[in-house]
């Protein structure tokens, strides 16, 4: 007798547990939600770009215009670093600004970063070696877009353009090449410049080889 009562109560506990678990499956409820502090849930606010009633700001704009001359904290203001141009804007910087190399932790980590970024952003068109024969180029050619021609980096003109010009090309793009200024951060763009230079050096003829 005692044993069967025990069995029944075990069964009861199991049924209860099963029912409780079934009820925990996250169905949505039709019951009105319970709010502890209602006015923390319903707070007066404006949406982005919404017009106000003029009580908060007389011009009825609820978003404030930026004060003149304001810049974002992370904006690079040195023109040599931000645009690859000399302070007086007369020309491109010849070399990667030293400050950038320092903040990248030296040339070795900078080259490694540049290689990783190059392989993502540039290799699809320019190819991993800089030959200009990337997959996008091959597909463009197959599709009849013969005008789409990324140049090889292994040519005299591109070997001799200033580092700043290379940086500006990455930042602003050039004819069929898209700009990367808004996509790739400043330090990464300079790292790519360093890596493109390394690619060029890897195939450059040493002075004695180029003698006739
Ligand atoms: C969507 C394909 C594409 C991608 C991606 C691309 N490029 Fe280009 N790139 C081109 C094309 C096309 C040209 C030739 C532009 C022209 O007609 O002058 C070019 C030209 C260049 C030139 C030569 C500029 C000159 O002075 O003639 C450089 C340097 C260069 N790209 C570097 C890069 C680097 C570095 C990246 C990666 C950040 C990159 N490109 C990403 C397509 C691309």
Number of structural domains, the chain? 1
Kindly state if the Cβ of 177 falls inside 6 Å of ligand 1: yes
Q: Which of 181, 161, 2, 157 is nearest to 81 (CA)?
A: 181
Task: Report yes or no on 74 lying in a domain.
Answer: no
Task: Report yes or no on 63 lying in a domain.
Answer: no
Q: Is the model's pLDDT at 193 over the cut of 80?
A: yes
pLDDT digits (tens, 9 = 90+) for 26-50: 778 888 878 788 888 888 889 999 9
Q: By alpha-carbon position, which residue is closest to atom 11 of ligand 1?
A: 150
What's the confidence (pLDDT) of residue 71?
87
Range of the domain at 143: 79-207
In the reported structure, the alpha carbon of residue 73 is separated from the centroid of ligand 1 by a whole-number distance in angstroms of 30
Task: Report yes or no on 124 lying in a domain.
Answer: yes
What's the confidence (pLDDT) of residue 25?
63
To the nearest whole number, what is the mean pLDDT of the chain? 89
Q: Which residue has the higher pLDDT, 75 or 124?
A: 124
Task: Report yes or no on 142 lying in a domain.
Answer: yes
Burial class (CB in 10 A: 0-12, 13-18, 19+), 32: exposed
Kindly state if the Cβ of 60 falls inside 6 Å of ligand 1: no
Task: Report yes or no on 25 lying in a domain.
Answer: no
Task: Report yes or no on 27 lying in a domain.
Answer: no
Kindly state if the Cβ of 196 falls inside 6 Å of ligand 1: yes
74-83 own/partner pairs: CB under 8 Å, 24+ apart: 76/186, 80/164, 81/186, 81/190, 82/186, 83/164, 83/167, 83/168, 83/171
Q: Which residue has the higher pLDDT, 135 or 35?
A: 135
In the reported structure, the alpha carbon of residue 12 is separated from the centroid of ligand 1 by a whole-number distance in angstroms of 74
What's the confidence (pLDDT) of residue 48?
92
| CATH number of the domain that residue 162 is part of | 1.10.760.10
96, 129, 164, 169, best to mutate for ligand 1 pocket (most atoms within 8 Å of CB): 169
What's the confidence (pLDDT) of residue 27?
78
Kindly state if the Cβ of 198 falls inside 6 Å of ligand 1: no
In the reported structure, the alpha carbon of residue 139 is separated from the centroid of ligand 1 by a whole-number distance in angstroms of 16
Cβ distance 162 to 93 under 8 Å?
A: yes
Place of tokens 């002075």: 207
Task: Report yes or no on 69 lying in a domain.
Answer: no
Task: Report yes or no on 94 lying in a domain.
Answer: yes
In the reported structure, the alpha carbon of residue 94 is separated from the centroid of ligand 1 by a whole-number distance in angstroms of 19
Q: Is the model's pLDDT at 92 over the cut of 80?
A: yes
| 197-208 mean pLDDT | 87
Residue 59: pLDDT band by 50, 70, 90 thresholds?
A: very high
Cβ distance 92 to 86 under 8 Å?
A: yes
């Amino acid at each position: 007798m005692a044993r069967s009562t025990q069995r029944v109560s075990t069964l009861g506990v199991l049924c209860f547990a099963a029912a409780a678990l079934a009820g925990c499956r996250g169905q949505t409820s039709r019951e009105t939600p319970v709010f502890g502090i209602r006015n923390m849930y319903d707070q007066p606010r404006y949406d982005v770009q919404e017009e106000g009633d003029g009580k908060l700001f007389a011009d009825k704009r609820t978003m404030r215009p930026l004060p003149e001359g304001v810049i974002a904290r992370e904006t690079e203001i040195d023109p040599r670093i931000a645009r690859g141009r000399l302070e007086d804007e007369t020309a491109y910087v010849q070399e990667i600004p030293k400050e950038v190399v320092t903040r990248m932790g030296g040339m070795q980590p900078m080259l490694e970063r540049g290689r990783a970024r190059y392989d993502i952003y540039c290799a699809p068109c320019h190819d991993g070696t800089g030959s200009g024969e990337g997959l996008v180029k091959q597909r463009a050619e197959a599709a009849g877009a013969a005008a789409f021609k990324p140049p090889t980096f292994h040519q005299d003109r591109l070997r001799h353009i200033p580092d700043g010009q290379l940086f500006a090309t990455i930042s602003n793009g050039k004819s069929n090449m898209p700009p990367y200024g808004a996509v790739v951060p400043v330090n990464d763009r300079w790292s790519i410049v360093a890596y493109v230079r390394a690619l060029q050096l890897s195939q450059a003829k040493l002075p004695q080889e180029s003698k006739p």
